[in-house]
Chains A and B, each alone.
Chain A
Amino acid sequence: MNTPARSTAIVEWLRRRGSAIAVFALLILVWEVGVRVAGVKEYLLPPPSKVWTEFWKRHELVMAGAWVTTQEILAGYALAVVVSIPLAMWIAWSRFMEQAVYPVIVFLQIVPKIAIAPLFIIWFGFGFTPKLLLVFLLSFFPIVVASIAGFKGADRDIMDFARTTGAGGLRLFVKIRLPQALPQVFTGLKVGAALAATAAVVAEFVASDRGLGYLLLQYNGQLETPMVFATIVLLSLIGLAVYYAVEVVERLAIPWHVSQQHTAHDATM
């Protein structure tokens, strides 16, 4: 362990994030003090400390619910990734797929997916499947649309250069088309990740006997507002974790793109 290097890294992180953290802490403090001073009723707006103590009392139950919801998010999202990226490639390569399937996808994208959730209950009951499918459905479209744009969007001059090398389809794909598509694929992956948590909660709202969405409705019905807040915070944290996980993978997969963005960002500062 290189302690001096680590501590400078932490100091550096604090230097960059310090002001944002301070503002966030201040907001919490204003909330806490404001609610107490103004005497706002707890079922309307509980102070943060109350949210924490209530959560801690029942954290085992809530965390179990969180685990259920996390599984739905991860499974549905994974399915969306596995299906949408190969499909996007296929549509980008095949003229038939582009003409026959792509317009259908564009049309279906416009359907408000959340409205389909009740239908899933009719088809698949109250269990895990309808949740997984709704997460899949919401994550699928942004990923597939962005990926198609990525795979089709090869620069004309780059492709002309490539043609003068005589390279065949597979080599072109591996060396040029795939890497140049990745930034857009990751844009889609991040949008999909942000939607995944929403989808899981909505699916649980519609019909469920477990998970954070289910608990949220329960607490809401009993006016246990501190627990409603605790559940919302937990949901946000899960969504954030999924999003950051994708961003970490992006940093590993396309460091050239991430650093390029940073350079552009620094240039505009």
Chain B
Amino acid sequence: MNLHDLGGADGDAAGGRAVEPGSGSVPVARTAVELAGVAKTYRRRGVETHALASVDLAIREGEFLAIVGPSGCGKSTRLRLVAGLHLASAGEVRIGGRVVDRPQTALGIVFQSPVLLDWRDALDNVLVQVELRGLDPSAYRERALELLDQVGLRDFADRYPHELSGGMRQRVAIARALIHDAPLLLMDEPFGALDALTREQMRLDLEALWLATRKTVLFITHSVDEAVLLADRVVVMTPRPGRIERVLDIGIARPRGLAARRDAAFAEATQQITDLFLARGVLHGAGRTGVSR
């Protein structure tokens, strides 16, 4: 496992820029998403709040990248900046080399809550993605059913959100984010509201789905286990205003499945992240809990 802080430039950003599309057989992954000095400040009654410290980060094409950090470190804001739903106060977000200056459409997005439309059944909730894009939903029907099948909802296509469990609703939301086959998938704590067992199942299913499509994934989570189990690289954030503490390469072989929890690399990576959080005071060791602060 490689360990490097952000300052020790690993060259992925530079490498991403150097390799032009179709420039050769070198299998160096290109940069899909790039955050260059991206910061966000809010001004409220003349007082500036630094919501996000300046961050440089490059997400490679086809990479599964997880950002893990304590609450309030601006993980979700970061994702919204990538989607163009918020605009950065400083720096630039680039997707495929183009500066993000408005909401981006070449992506799929999944939030912590599934935000399905109550008046549409599961199938139509998946198809709303293409309908809102002005495409013909009947042309995507087959694919939507296929996706629902892949997320384990083959028999639930005609169910309405209130007839589905929390996990099932989130599965519909994932299918909705994939139907238009965008190259980038943004997931903002997608399993945060689910119980532990459902969460583990969703994690396994998401890995399988990702291995089948190999989309670029930006996955925000506050679960260290989830980040390490799913991601190729884990970005560890400091508490507010949220700097990048460390970027870890996770070398566990895929498909990781359930066995990954027994992998030595899993234990090592989670231990390292825990130690970082301990050092930053995000976690307190025994004897320093609660009362001392």
Interface residues of A (CB under 8 A from B): 155, 157-158, 160-167, 171-172, 175-176, 179-180, 254, 256-257, 259-260, 263-264
Asked whether, in the complex, the Cβ of B160 is within 8 Å of the Cβ of A256, the reply is yes
Contacts known (A163-B103, A164-B105); A155 close to B115, Cβ less than 8 A: yes
Q: Does B162 contact A (CB under 8 A)?
A: yes
CA distance in complex: A256, B163 (Å): 10
Q: Does B107 contact A (CB under 8 A)?
A: yes
Q: Which residues of the other chain, B, contact A167 by a CB distance below 8 angstroms?
A: 132-134
Q: Does B234 contact A (CB under 8 A)?
A: no
Asked whether, in the complex, the Cβ of B85 is within 8 Å of the Cβ of A263, the reply is no
Flag B61-87 by CB within 8 Å of A: 1 or 0 each: 000000000000000000010010100
**Chain A min CB distance to B23 (Å):** 30
Q: Which of B115, B118, B133, B162 contacts A165, CB < 8 Å? A: B133
**Taking CB as reference atom, which chain B residue is nearest A171?**
B132
Can you offer 24 A-B residue contacts whose CB atoms are under 8 A? A155-B115, A157-B115, A160-B83, A160-B85, A160-B109, A161-B109, A161-B115, A164-B104, A164-B105, A164-B108, A165-B132, A166-B105, A166-B132, A166-B133, A167-B132, A172-B132, A175-B128, A176-B117, A180-B119, A256-B118, A256-B120, A256-B160, A260-B160, A263-B163
Q: Which residues of the other chain, A, contact B111 by a CB distance below 8 angstroms?
A: 157, 160-161
Q: Which residues of the other chain, B, contact A180 by a CB distance below 8 angstroms?
A: 117-119
CA distance in complex: A161, B113 (Å): 12
Q: Which residues of the other chain, B, contact A256 by a CB distance below 8 angstroms?
A: 118-120, 160, 162
CA distance in complex: A163, B107 (Å): 11
Q: Does B149 contact A (CB under 8 A)?
A: no
Contacts known (A163-B85, A163-B103, A259-B160); A158 close to B133, Cβ less than 8 A: no
Q: Which residues of the other chain, B, contact A164 by a CB distance below 8 angstroms?
A: 83, 85, 103-105, 107-109
CA distance in complex: A71, B33 (Å): 65
Q: Does B5 contact A (CB under 8 A)?
A: no
Asked whether, in the complex, the Cβ of A263 is within 8 Å of the Cβ of B162, the reply is yes
Q: Does B275 contact A (CB under 8 A)?
A: no
Q: Which residues of the other chain, A, contact B109 by a CB distance below 8 angstroms?
A: 160-161, 164
Flag B116-156 by CB within 8 Å of A: 1 or 0 each: 01111000000011011110000000000000000000000
Known A161-B109, A180-B118, A257-B118; further 15 A-B contacts with Cβ < 8 A: A157-B113, A160-B80, A160-B111, A162-B132, A164-B104, A165-B129, A165-B133, A166-B133, A167-B133, A175-B128, A175-B131, A257-B119, A260-B118, A260-B160, A260-B162
**Chain B min CB distance to A159 (Å):** 9
**Taking CB as reference atom, which chain B residue is nearest A155?**
B115
Q: What is the count of residue pairs linking A and B with beta-carbon distances less than 8 angstroms?
A: 66
Q: Which residues of the other chain, A, contact B113 by a CB distance below 8 angstroms?
A: 157
Asked whether, in the complex, the Cβ of A158 is within 8 Å of the Cβ of B118, the reply is no
**Chain A min CB distance to B120 (Å):** 8
Interface residues of B (CB under 8 A from A): 80, 83, 85, 103-105, 107-109, 111, 113, 115, 117-120, 128-129, 131-134, 160, 162-163
Q: Which residues of the other chain, A, contact B108 by a CB distance below 8 angstroms?
A: 164
**Chain B min CB distance to A252 (Å):** 13
CA distance in complex: A264, B160 (Å): 13
CA distance in complex: A146, B126 (Å): 30
**Chain A min CB distance to B115 (Å):** 4
Q: Which residues of the other chain, B, contact A155 by a CB distance below 8 angstroms?
A: 115
**Taking CB as reference atom, which chain B residue is nearest A165?**
B132
Q: Which residues of the other chain, A, contact B107 by a CB distance below 8 angstroms?
A: 164
**Taking CB as reference atom, which chain B residue is nearest A167?**
B132
Q: Which residues of the other chain, A, contact B132 by a CB distance below 8 angstroms?
A: 162, 165-167, 171-172, 175-176
CA distance in complex: A256, B134 (Å): 24
**Chain B min CB distance to A257 (Å):** 7
CA distance in complex: A112, B108 (Å): 51
Q: Which residues of the other chain, B, contact A160 by a CB distance below 8 angstroms?
A: 80, 83, 85, 109, 111
Contacts known (A160-B80, A260-B160, A263-B162); A166 close to B103, Cβ less than 8 A: yes
Q: Which residues of the other chain, B, contact A158 by a CB distance below 8 angstroms?
A: 115, 117
CA distance in complex: A157, B111 (Å): 7
Q: Which residues of the other chain, B, contact A254 by a CB distance below 8 angstroms?
A: 119
Q: Which residues of the other chain, B, contact A175 by a CB distance below 8 angstroms?
A: 128, 131-132
CA distance in complex: A157, B119 (Å): 16
CA distance in complex: A166, B105 (Å): 6
CA distance in complex: A187, B108 (Å): 34
**Chain A min CB distance to B187 (Å):** 13
**Chain B min CB distance to A186 (Å):** 13
Q: Which residues of the other chain, A, contact B118 by a CB distance below 8 angstroms?
A: 180, 256-257, 260
CA distance in complex: A161, B110 (Å): 8
